[in-house]
Structure 1
């Protein structure tokens, strides 16, 4: 890993292309986000019909994200397999333990591995990058157990690298805000239900419709904690906007609405975890 991290961007990109070419065939776990979109595009350019996209539908995956994923693959001309991977049906998942993502990834990639075999595809890949190594990611254990490859990470590519390359390639996702499944909006130990997921989905869609770009609505029981990007926090100086959001969130089912003063950051729910977990 240290060797590829010392390479410049063009060299990292060449490592990625070479690694994908050597695979011969690849099924990409495709969410429509920045990383998986870039990976799918590169794989399709190199492998053609031997690269397929696999997208999982579930109550933790907003419809807007799914539609964008479908539209992109259609425009690319790649084969797209849509599967159902309902995390809430996995025993223990809805209890939201600290290793929740392990159960999710194991279920997801077991199914994607099956899709790959059915389509005579030799390898399965996720879209994780080097930056994902810096946070608590129990799902990576499942990825390793199931033999899933991580081409972007193995090439030493960071999120910023991927955005730069995506822009150069004309991908519409180059500046797309980061996204994580809706289950990440709950403190560990708080029960996850379809009703609560629906509340989060509607609340975040409201903020997006109001023009916010990077949003998270964290579910703390009766309280909705809003995270927006640092530069967007000043929008809340508008009393009219605050009143509108409060009223709308009340209708969604939140008794109280609060703004996180620090703003959006990845893995904010992990901040309460004890070191070593």
Structure 2
């Protein structure tokens, strides 16, 4: 499906509805808010300031909403006051999203919106995002997934329309390893460190990860940091706010994976051409089989943890460990199109 058909599908989905848009000001929610403003009967963008977001994220979300022309509301609640969040368990992001969406769902009910819509795109299903599990459990609508819109599609459409968005909207708590307590002191020094590096380098996206006082700096364009005097200054400033050591990830940060499948050649003929991908999370095969039945003929082996789907001549095998293999497809594009149809059916 080409991008225009995907956007038309999104417009058709939103047309005439009354929706509350979960709005961060990032690329995905910006595109969703833009189309909702144009197509929905009524649209309200809601941003949750949870006390651990970079200050500029809330400000930029407000500015972007104003440019789009959508109604916008900021709801403030400090999650650092919640002991379950402060303990920073492995399901931290799930807890956070649950708190956010419960607040938005109450607004939607009280003000008679049809429901909350979320900017998760179909490429996000290739990553291990606990918040997606919450969306699936609570039936939060994800229109970009329904329209098979990828991260690459989102960026391309926004660039074509010359629409600004915030390239970095993740909360500062994600910089602290799970299991290590989240404290106001840690959040404040992370915020200071990231703002310092942004101001010194003009980089849009900076991450400073905090592992009990060990700072790990991650940026997309590392060349802007490779200067001895600059690095000495950053180290001095970060130690002054409580970091014990300062390190740099030379691998960079922020690259988006556009290729969703890789080619795996078969020995016995072109009709068995095969593409493969592996997801970074485990799958619930019985639940996945139920969803796959909407697409074609499914064979499900709970014992082996494998599901096979026949769609015409095409065949796809899905394993509980996250491995997905597409067979009897024409080429990479054909395999990727098949994967886009399968991804929304996967259950964890």
For normalisation by structure 1, the TM-score amounts to 0.87
Match among 168, 172, 177 for residue 178 of structure 1 = 168
* 1:120 has 2:120 as partner: no
Which of 174, 197, 210 aligns to 1:207? It is 197
Partner of 2:231: 242
In the TM superposition, residue 87 of structure 1 has moved relative to its aligned partner by 2.4
Q: Does 1:224 align with 2:215?
A: yes
Q: 1:148 corresponds to which residue?
A: 140
1:101, 1:199 → 2: CA distance?
21
* Residue 265 (structure 1) shift: 4.2
Aligned to 2:15: 21
The structure that is helix-richer by fraction is 1
Change (3 A) 1:74 1:180: same
Secondary structure at the counterpart of residue 156 of structure 1: coil
d(CA) in 1 for partners of 2:105 and 2:136?
A: 13
SS in structure 1 of the partner of residue 40 of structure 2? helix
Which residue does 1:233 correspond to in 2? 222
**Distance (whole Å) between structure 2 residues aligned to residue 8 and residue 78 of structure 1:** 27
- The answer to whether residue 47 in structure 2 is matched with residue 55 in structure 1 is yes
Corresponding residue for 1:84? 76
**Against the structure 1 CA distance between its residues 75 and 179, is the aligned structure 2 distance closer, same or farther, given a 3 Å change threshold?**
closer
Q: CA deviation at 1:89?
A: 3.1
Q: 1:90 to 1:147 in 2, by over 3 A?
A: farther
1:95 correspondence with 2:114:
no
Q: Distance in 2 between matches of 1:36 and 1:228?
A: 23
- Residue 252 of structure 1 and its aligned partner are, at CA, apart by 2.1
Question: Structure 1's 266 and 142: CA in aligned 2 closer, same or farther, altered over 3 A?
Answer: farther
Question: Does the 8 Å contact 1:85/1:108 carry over to 2?
Answer: no
For the Cα contact (< 8 Å) 2:128–2:281, is it kept in 1?
no
SS in 2 for 1:224: strand
Kindly indicate whether the alpha-carbon contact (under 8 Å) linking 1:60 and 1:197 is maintained by their aligned counterparts in 2: yes
Query: 1:99 touches 1:139 (CA, 8 Å); kept in 2?
Result: no
> Does 1 or 2 have the higher relative contact order (CA < 8 Å, sep 6+)?
1
Q: 1:116-162: CA deviations, max 9, x gaps?
A: 11221112111111121122111122222333111112211111110
**Equivalent pair of 1:93/1:100 in contact (CA under 8 Å):** yes
Q: Does the 8 A contact of 2:51 with 2:76 survive in 1?
A: no
C-alpha distance in structure 2 between counterparts of 1:95 and 1:239, whole Å: 37
Query: Is 1:44 matched with 2:37?
Result: yes
Unpaired segments ≥5 residues, structure 1: 1-6, 268-273
1:266 is displaced (CA, Å) by 7.7
State the match for 2:5 in structure 1: 11
Distance across 2 between alignment mates of 1:221 and 1:93: 17
Query: Using the alignment, how far apart are the partners of 2:139 and 2:122 within structure 1?
Result: 18
Query: Which protein is bigger by CA-based radius of gyration?
Result: 2
